[in-house]
Amino acid sequence: MQVTPMYAMGKAVRLSRMVNPESNKMMAITVDHATSRGIAPMTGIQDIQGAIDKIVPGRPDAMTMTGGIQKRCWGPYVGSGISVLHKISNYAPTSPTNDVVFGSVDAAIRMGADAVSMGCITLGDFQNEQFARIGEVSEYCDKVGMPLIGHVYPKGESVPKDQRASWENIAYCVRSACELGMDIVKTTYTGDPDSMAKVVSCVPSSFRVVIQGGDSPNLSPDELLMYYLKMTREALDSGVGGVTMGRWVWDYKDVTALVIALRRLIHKGYSVKETKELLDTVEHDKNYADYLVL
């Protein structure tokens, strides 16, 4: 009989909590932006407790947040079944290509998190230091059975802005995260399903790739909604294993309704049209509790 090592068992248990067993996809909402982007522009999470209170009733699989926010805001939702992904690093507005570690795996364990997440900006002046930090954290996560999620983007000094979503650069991020021992990587959608499928093919099938929402294009609110719904549907159809999204979700006029609708797009295979129709219905009726069960 094959015996599963205890660290691998711990990772498997925690990963299972953040992935829907029916769809084998992951839906996470992140509220970790303030230290990297500044709080003034992040209007949807200036009232962080209020933002979390709107997200949770939509029932995402997981939420990404720092330990400080978890400590002060997550108390009402202990036992909710929503996994906490404990963010331990961020860049800063003054050093946007260098993620610095400020938290720890041990703190994540103490606080009941199901994963640790840390960022990395590749192809820039600080890639080596960030890779070294990831390697150290990855080894310790293996030792204690804690999944490690990477937020990895090709936004270093060598990458022109118009190449930050090229499949070659996104594939480099994804493969690097896998090589460094991470379990899941969050990165940028390449813009079309064929090139994103090429990215996914560059890592073993057991390695999960999820997409961010990213910087919003200059569109009207209705156009922006359809842009992101289409992007999410395309990415999932290309083989992506889920989403970890933030700004466009908690900036929406009815956050709970949007999370409810997105959950069905991701886990039930809803089309963009079906998702929009459900969103309109929930926004009108405000009957959020009727959608707790998927």
Q: Which residues are catalytic?
A: 32, 153, 186
Supply the DSSP string of 50-72, one letter for each residue.
HHHHHHGGG--SEEEEEHHHHHH
CB 44 within 8 A of CB 86: no
The C-alpha angle with vertex 211 and arms to 47 and 254, in degrees rounded to 5, equals 35
Looking only at the bridges linking them, the beta strands covering 242-245 and 26-30 are parallel
Which residue has 């090709």 as its token pair?
A: 154
Nearest residue to 184 via CA among 129, 269, 108, 115 = 115
What are 153's strand-pairing partners?
121
Count of alpha carbons within 13 angstroms of residue 148, beta-carbon side = 31
| Amino acid at position 247, single letter | R
> Residue 212 in 3-state DSSP?
coil
Q: Structure tokens of 147?
A: 């999944």
Distance, in Å, from the CA atom of 192 to the CA atom of 20, rounded to the nearest integer, reads: 25
Phi then psi for residue 207, to 5 deg, are -95, 125
